[in-house]
Amino acid sequence: MTDIIRQAKNAKEAALRMYSLSSGVKNNALLEIARVLSERAEEIFGANQKDLDEAKKTGLPMPLRKRLLFDAKKLNSVVDGLKSLSGLEDPVGKTLLARQLDEGLSLYRISCPIGVIGIIFESRPDALVQIASLCLKAGNAVLMKGGSEARHTNRILATIIRDASVVSGIPEGWITLLQSREEVRDMLELDEYIDLIIPRGNNEFVRYIMDNTRIAVLGHADGVCHVYVHKDAQPETARRIVVDSKAQYVAVCNAAETLLIDSEIAEPLLPELARSLSEAGVTLHGCERSAKILDIDRVDDWHKEYLDYEMSVKIVDGLADAIEHINHFGSGHTDAIVTENGESAETFMNAVDSGNVFWNCSTRFSDGYKYGFGAEVGISTSKIHARGPVGLEGLITYKYKIYGKGQIVEDYASGKRSFRFRPIESFGHS
C-alpha cells in the first residue's frame, strides 16, 4: 500500500501545479508525445509483439487478441488523435457565469481541472494514450491501470507519455501506470488524493468499484439498448436500422439487444425483419406473441445484454407500452424509435429515461467520436456529472471566484447594503 499512497500523493501534488499550466504548454506536450511515439514506433511494436505472443500462449480468445494489437495503423490513429486534441480549445479557464452581486463585488464561475483521476481500462493499449492525453488536455493528473495482457505495450506507452510530457514542462508525477490488481483495490481507499474514478469494463466490475469506494465513480453499467419500430415506421428504414443497430458490431455497449414492434404492424413486418436479422447471423428470442409468429424460443431475461448475435423481440401495444418496457428493462444507455410520425418520436424521446434517445437512426451512433467530441473517456449511464458519451468536459469542474473591494456580510445582514444582481455582459474566456 505504501507505494500507491506515495504515487497518489505525487499525483495530487502534480495536479495542484497543473491548475496553472498554460494552454501552450499542454498543447506542446501533446505534440511532443505524438512525435516521440512515432520516433519510437519499432520499440512499441516490439513490446506489443511480446504481449501478443503471451496472449497466444495463454490461449486468449481471438477477439481479445485483436483488441490487443497495436500496429502502425493504431499508432497513426493515436498520433492523429494527439494532434487534433492539441488543436482543440482549452476546456480550462472558461467563464461559465459572470454576475455582479453589488457595486464592486463580482462573481465568476470558471472551469478548472478536477484534480486526480483514477482510470481502469480494458485491454486496448490505444485507450491508454487516448485517456492520458484527454486528462493532460484537461489539466488532470492520472493513475491508470490497464489490462495485464497488454502490460508490455502499456508500460512503454506510459513511459513515453511521461518522459515526453515532463520534458515539455508538465509536472512530474502527473501520470502513473499501476501494475497490479491489488493496487486498484488500494486506490479505492485513497479519497484523500483521488477525485474521480472512471472504470471501463463489464457491469459486474463497475458495480464492484461503486460498492467499494467513497470516491465519485463515473461508470457505465451495461448497454441494454432498444429499437422500437412504431406503427408509422417506413418498413425499409426499420429494416436497415434494426439490422445495423444489432449486427454492425455486436460486442459493444451501443449495439441493440431488444427489438420492440407495434402489434398493428407485426404482420407482415416482423417476419421480414426476422429474415434480415437471420441473414446477418442473428438468433432471435421472443415474447409470447412474437415467439408464436416466428416460431422461436422465449426470452428468459428482458434485461440481458447479449453482446453477441442474439436479440430479444417483443410485440408491444403502442407507444406508451414501448416506453414503459424500455424504462423498466432498459439500462438508460441508448434507445431508438423508427417512425414517420414526428409527434410520436418527440414523445418517445422525452419520456424514455436514457442518456441517448434517437429518432430514425441506428443505436450505434451513440459514441463520442460520432458525436464529434474528438475522443471519449467512456459512456456514462449515470445521470450525475456527465451522461452519455463523455469527452473532455467530463474531466472538468469549475470554481467560483469573487472579486471584492473589502465587502463584508454584516453590511448586507444589517440592511446597510443590499445585493444588486446583474449579469456582467461581454465576458469572454478569462
Q: How close are the terminal C-alpha atoms of the chain, in Å?
A: 41
| R_g (Cα) of the chain, nearest Å | 25
Nearest Cα neighbor of 332 from 284, 258, 400, 388 is 388
* Distance of closest approach, residue 37 Cβ to a copy of itself, in angstroms: 25
The smaller minimum CB distance to a copy of itself, of residues 37 and 120, is found at 120
The smaller minimum CB distance to a copy of itself, of residues 55 and 390, is found at 390
Nearest Cα neighbor of 146 from 134, 135, 132 is 132
Give the cell for residue 96. Answer: 461559465
* Distance of closest approach, residue 115 Cβ to a copy of itself, in angstroms: 6
The smaller minimum CB distance to a copy of itself, of residues 234 and 341, is found at 234
* Distance of closest approach, residue 160 Cβ to a copy of itself, in angstroms: 29
The smaller minimum CB distance to a copy of itself, of residues 91 and 115, is found at 115
* Distance of closest approach, residue 132 Cβ to a copy of itself, in angstroms: 20
* Distance of closest approach, residue 408 Cβ to a copy of itself, in angstroms: 4
* Distance of closest approach, residue 156 Cβ to a copy of itself, in angstroms: 30
Q: Burial, 255: exposed, middle or buried (Cβ in 10 Å; 0-12, 13-18, 19+)?
A: buried
* Distance of closest approach, residue 387 Cβ to a copy of itself, in angstroms: 5
The smaller minimum CB distance to a copy of itself, of residues 161 and 259, is found at 259
* Distance of closest approach, residue 47 Cβ to a copy of itself, in angstroms: 29
Say which DSSP state 316 is in.
E
The smaller minimum CB distance to a copy of itself, of residues 28 and 360, is found at 360
The smaller minimum CB distance to a copy of itself, of residues 59 and 419, is found at 419
SS3 58: coil
CA–CA separation, 366 and 141 (whole Å) = 28
Element (H, E) at 261: strand 256-262
Give the cell for residue 340. Answer: 414517420
CA–CA separation, 77 and 79 (whole Å) = 5
Nearest Cα neighbor of 198 from 213, 179, 180 is 213
Q: State the alpha helices, DSSP H only, in 19-40.
A: 23-39
The smaller minimum CB distance to a copy of itself, of residues 160 and 322, is found at 322
Cβ partners under 8 Å of residue 337, min gap 6: 227, 228, 230, 322, 344, 345, 348, 349, 357, 358, 359, 360
